[in-house]
Amino acid sequence: MAALILTVEPLTREAFAPFGSVMETEGAELRLINGGTTERFHRLAVSDTDAEGRTIVSLFRGQPRAFPFSIAMMERHPDGSQAFYPLDKRDWLLAVAEDENGRPARPRVFRASGTQGISYGRNVWHHPLLALDEISDFLVVDREGPGLNLKEYFYSEPFVIEAADLTKRDAP
């Protein structure tokens, strides 16, 4: 059986809109604060948690993935959104999928620049963090609270991201 190859797309606000928000300074509402000494890029994303949870901020340190890479599973968080913002200004990948009767459809893979973060909407299927090339740190905003805020799905046949697709530099 032929491999289920995925194409890496550049991350744009429009392409990612069904899954959440792209966080980047370009096009953001800019406010000068602190007597004009600080630029505030306002409301890049909104944290969405249920009434029982609370919003927390963490640091994730992602290990670089080896390619070709198989997407064999996806996860989602029904009780809260989850935002990732790269701290090392390194490109990274994210894989998302629309919901198809309670399970993820075929994934879409986006290449984010090192100055683009994202916020997955509540209950959006996504793959865990996909760092490229080097160990990379991410500021993460998500939910903490009671209940199991994680659902996983394992595909019967994995999808593949090929190394050759990563050499394309058409990401923003």
pTM of the model: 0.92
> Averaged over 94-120, what is the pLDDT?
98
pLDDT at 1: 56
CATH domain 4-167 topology: Jelly Rolls (2.60.120)
Alpha-carbon span 160 to 67, nearest angstrom: 9
The pairing of strands 136-144 and 54-62 is antiparallel
Name the residue with tokens 């790269």. 86
Buried/exposed code over 26-43 (b: 16+ C-beta within 10 A; e: otherwise): eeeeeeeeeeeeeeeeee
**166 or 107: whose pLDDT is higher?**
107
Which pLDDT score is estimated for 169? Answer: 54
Q: Where are the domains of the chain?
A: 4-167
pLDDT in tens, 5-45: 999 999 999 999 999 999 999 999 999 999 999 999 999 99
Q: What is the CA radius of gyration of the chain?
A: 16
Q: CA 151 to CA 24: how far, in whole Å?
A: 28
Q: Which amino acid is at 44?
A: L
| CA dihedral for 60, 131, 14, 96, sign (positive or negative) | negative
